[in-house]
Structure formats: structure tokens, C-alpha cells
């Protein structure tokens, strides 16, 4: 059975294996053993209530319980930018006016921003390519919103998602080549790696502090602003269907869109509801899968169930109930995996 659960200290080797498959642009999952070990430890301490708010972050693993293999990872940061700067570009306009010439022009520009400091963030989403089927990607991504629904008080009112920007098969970013390289004199992959391991001071030291006029960038750089990597387009569509929106903020390195939402307005947070567990030999088959979770933190579990809830109960097989660590009569949380219609 496929289950999402919090990461454990013994998941380090599995996360290293996944990190080696990410390629350039997945900043928060670098193949660095010390960094991943620290990230796992931080998730464990957060679940144990031992981390300060600026350090709090959760990691979740997608596990095949039959083999014990971890094939995916996703995360939530509780509050970004409280200890280390969290930069992006805000797209805005500047007005250029000359009464003498009768000229009035509105020009788009990018402004270095810390506007999202203190927001929560969904991040570190990666699924092994061999497991990108059977709605595993949706389960891995959306399970985080079940955790948000259960523990809203732990997070900010708004949440963001930085999307991987456009780059070619060699990891070359048109946005970086058109802007960042002029200030940093390093490759995009190097800048991406330094950010991923927490070395971010160079951004403030070297990034332009004045507005960057978009019209002055090369056309190929302009074209990818607010876009996402082709492999990331399904993830963007999924998040937007759940309530995230692009509000004109982009990544400072690859120009990828930053999406944001109010936690209370996310579909899963808003529409998920509680049922009592009813164990059955075989639930009536449904074409519509449900996300089903318990509301426990350290024992948090999420599965997909192809069953229809009754008025106050949700039918599970004994194996499904065991995977969720629930007994008949216990409370669970459930919501359709996707919006209908």
C-alpha cells in the first residue's frame, strides 16, 4: 500500500537516492548528505515540539509499505525568511511621463523583495520518475494540505510555492543568462546549489538593489518570466486547482512563478471533513478517489481510498485502517482527491 508519513532518521539513504535524480532547479532537495540529515533532524524536532518557529519545517515521505521503499518526498516550511533572507522579484510598473513631449509610458520592472517573509511554504516536492503513475504525485503533493487542515494553528495565514523555472536539458536557464550571470559571474547550477545548502548572503551582496527594467532583458529571458519548467507544469496546474494563484512574484534565479494562497481558502483545507472509521471486507468501488488521513502529528498518515463516505462514516478495509493506524470508530479526515466538474 502507498502511504504518506513524516520522514524518519533512517530515511536518509532514500532521500539521498531521490536527490541524485532531481537535476538542476530543485533547490530544496540537494544531494548533500549532511544537509539532508539536518533537514530530517529538523522535521523530527519540529514534530516533537522542540524547534523554534524560524527553524520549523516538516518533511513527508511516500512509502510503498509492502517493500518499505521511499519513492517520494514533500515538505512544508512553517515560516520562511525569519532567520535567513527569502528573496524573490516582484513584478510591478513604473510610469514615465513627459508633458512637454506628450509621452506617458508604463514600464514593467522587477523589484527585489522580501514580501513573503513569515509566510508558510510548500516545498521539496519530488517523486521518483518510475513512480509517476496511479495518482502517486497527487497523493504526495496534496497530503500536505491534509496536514495543514489538521494543524492550521501551526502555520501562517498565507502560504507560497516556488515553482521551478524554465531551463534546458543541460540546466541552462534563459533568465539566469539574461540577468543573474551579469552580477554573479557563476553558472546557474552553482548559484542554485549555494542557495540549496543555505549559503544565501551572496544574493543580498551582489543582486541589483534598483528596479530591473524587463524591456532591457534579452527576449529569451523576458519570455520565461513567470513560467515554469515543462516538468513542473502539472504541479502548477494542480496547485492552482487547489486555490493557489500567481500574483506577480518570480524566483530571482530562474524567473519561475511563485504561487500563493490563503490557507483557509485552499480547497482541501476548506472542504475536508471528519468521519468515523467503519471497517468493511470490501468497500463499494468508487471511481472517485478520496484523500484519507488521521489527524495525528507524529503518526500522521495519508492514503488514497476508492470508496464513498456515508453520512458520518467512511468505509475502510482492515489493511487501510492499519495503514492509517486507526481502529473502528476512530475519527479520520477525508476529501475528494480533486475538484469535481
Could you give the residue numbers annotated as active site?
Answer: 229
Q: Rounded distance, CA 94 to CA 223, Å?
A: 20
Inter-CA distances, 38 with 3, 18, 45, 110, 197, Å: 23, 16, 10, 34, 11
Q: Rounded distance, CA 307 to CA 292, Å?
A: 10
Q: Rounded distance, CA 13 to CA 36, Å?
A: 9
C-beta separation of 274 from 313 below 8 A:
no
Residues 6+ apart with CB under 8 A from 156: 78, 79, 118, 119, 120, 263
Q: Rounded distance, CA 243 to CA 155, Å?
A: 17
The DSSP result for 10-64, as a single string, is: GGHHHHHHHHTTS-TT-TT--S-HHHHHHHHHHHHHHHTT-S-GGG-EEEEEEEE
Amino acid at each position: 500500500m502507498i502511504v504518506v508519513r513524516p520522514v524518519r532518521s533512517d530515511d536518509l539513504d532514500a532521500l539521498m537516492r531521490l536527490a541524485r535524480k532531481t537535476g538542476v532547479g530543485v533547490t530544496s532537495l540537494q544531494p548533500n548528505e549532511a544537509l539532508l540529515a539536518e533537514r530530517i533532524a529538523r522535521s523530527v524536532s519540529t514534530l516533537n515540539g522542540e524547534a523554534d518557529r524560524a527553524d520549523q519545517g516538516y518533511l513527508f515521505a511516500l512509502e510503498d509499505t509492502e517493500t518499505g521503499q521511499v519513492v517520494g518526498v514533500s515538505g512544508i516550511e512553517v515560516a520562511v525568511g525569519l532567520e535567513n533572507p527569502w528573496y524573490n522579484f516582484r513584478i510591478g510598473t513604473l510610469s514615465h511621463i513627459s508633458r512637454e513631449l506628450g509621452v506617458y509610458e508604463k514600464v514593467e520592472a522587477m523589484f527585489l523583495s522580501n514580501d513573503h517573509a513569515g509566510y508558510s511554504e510548500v516545498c521539496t516536492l519530488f517523486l521518483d520518475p518510475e513512480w509517476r503513475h496511479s495518482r502517486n504525485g497527487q497523493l504526495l503533493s496534496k497530503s500536505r494540505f491534509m496536514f495543514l487542515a489538521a494543524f492550521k494553528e501551526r502555520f501562517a495565514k498565507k502560504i507560497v510555492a516556488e515553482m521551478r523555472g524554465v531551463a534546458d536539458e543541460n540546466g541552462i536557464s534563459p533568465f539566469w543568462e539574461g540577468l543573474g550571470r551579469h552580477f554573479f559571474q557563476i553558472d546557474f547550477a552553482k548559484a542554485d546549489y549555494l542557495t540549496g545548502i543555505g549559503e544565501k548572503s551572496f544574493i543580498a551582496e551582489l543582486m541589483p538593489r534598483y528596479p530591473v527594467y524587463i524591456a532591457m532583458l534579452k527576449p529569451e529571458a523576458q519570455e520565461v518570466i513567470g513560467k515554469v519548467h515543462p516538468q513542473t507544469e502539472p504541479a502548477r496546474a494542480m496547485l492552482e486547482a487547489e486555490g493557489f494563484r500567481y500574483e506577480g512574484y518570480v524566483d530571482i534565479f530562474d524567473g519561475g512563478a511563485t504561487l500563493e494562497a490563503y490557507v483557509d481558502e485552499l480547497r482541501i483545507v476548506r472542504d475536508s471533513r471528519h468521519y468515523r472509521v467503519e471497517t468493511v471486507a470490501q468497500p463499494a468501488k468508487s471511481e472517485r478517489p478520496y484523500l484519507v488521513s488521521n489527524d495525528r502529528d507524529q503518526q500522521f498518515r495519508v492514503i488514497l481510498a476508492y470508496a464513498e463516505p456515508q453520512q458520518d462514516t467512511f468505509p475502510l478495509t482492515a489493511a487501510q485502517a492499519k495503514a492509517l493506524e486507526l481502529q473502528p470508530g476512530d475519527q479520520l479526515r477525508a476529501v475528494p482527491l480533486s475538484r469535481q466538474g
